[in-house]
Amino acid sequence: MSRIKDTREPSLSDKETARELFYAAPLVERGKPIFTELIWVLLGCEDLDQHGKTLPDYCYNIFEVFQKTYFKGFPLVSETVQIANQAELESAKTIEAAKKVVRLDWKNLGRIFGIAARCFRYAELEAGEDLKSEEIDDPKKICTVVFEKQWVRENHAKIISESFEQPKKICA
């Protein structure tokens, strides 16, 4: 018996259907509840009793796996910034006064900045080539998928004046 082919190349109509789905609602809007909850999990699930879970439990299980795998190098905020006295911090009028009650773990802070620098480097130097290889050659289309049509209309001149070589400038 011959083996059944598990995958197939997407047809033109498949690609068009996927485009219509992405254009139906911008990625930022569609993903907002997911991103919000993922950030909450990555920050250590503070105030668990007060924070009503808005997604199904399996989503939080996936987020925990992400935290242990993709985000394992990302330190918790509670491990990076420690406040010795919350009342003194709130009443601090100067940076010197705030420095007395806030403790920073400089190694963890350096890790956070290293991750951020890598993200910016990717956006500045590599994202353009990746997008070209995906056959997406119109910055306006990408911005419509990520943001929304109104944002694209408001920023049309900026989008068409920038190239894929510098995506940071397009979305700034």
What is the rounded average pLDDT for all residues in the chain?
A: 79
Structure tokens, 31: 């993903």
What interhelical angle do 12-24 and 139-146 show, nearest 10?
50
Residue 92 pLDDT > 80, yes or no?
A: yes
Residue 164 pLDDT > 80, yes or no?
A: no
Contact 36, 69 (CB under 8 A): no
The predicted-structure confidence for 38-89, as pLDDT tens digits, reads as follows: 888 888 887 877 888 888 999 999 999 998 898 888 888 888 888 888 888 8
Residue 172 pLDDT > 70, yes or no?
A: no
Phi-psi region of 45 (alpha: psi -120 to 50; beta: other; left: phi over 0): left
User: In terms of pLDDT, which residue wins out, 117 or 145?
Assistant: 117
The predicted-structure confidence for 130-160, as pLDDT tens digits, reads as follows: 766 666 666 667 777 777 777 777 877 776 6
- Which ranges in 55-147 belong to alpha helices (H)? 57-68, 77-80, 86-91, 95-99, 106-121, 127-133, 139-146
Q: pTM score, two decimals?
A: 0.56
- 154's CB contacts (< 8 A; 6+ apart) are none
Residue 161 confidence (pLDDT): 66
The predicted-structure confidence for 21-37, as pLDDT tens digits, reads as follows: 777 777 777 888 888 89
Task: Report the distance separating Cα 69 and Cα 123, nearest Å.
Answer: 22
Nearest to 159 by CA among 147, 148, 170: 170
The continuous run of DSSP H or E covering 14 comes out as helix 12-24
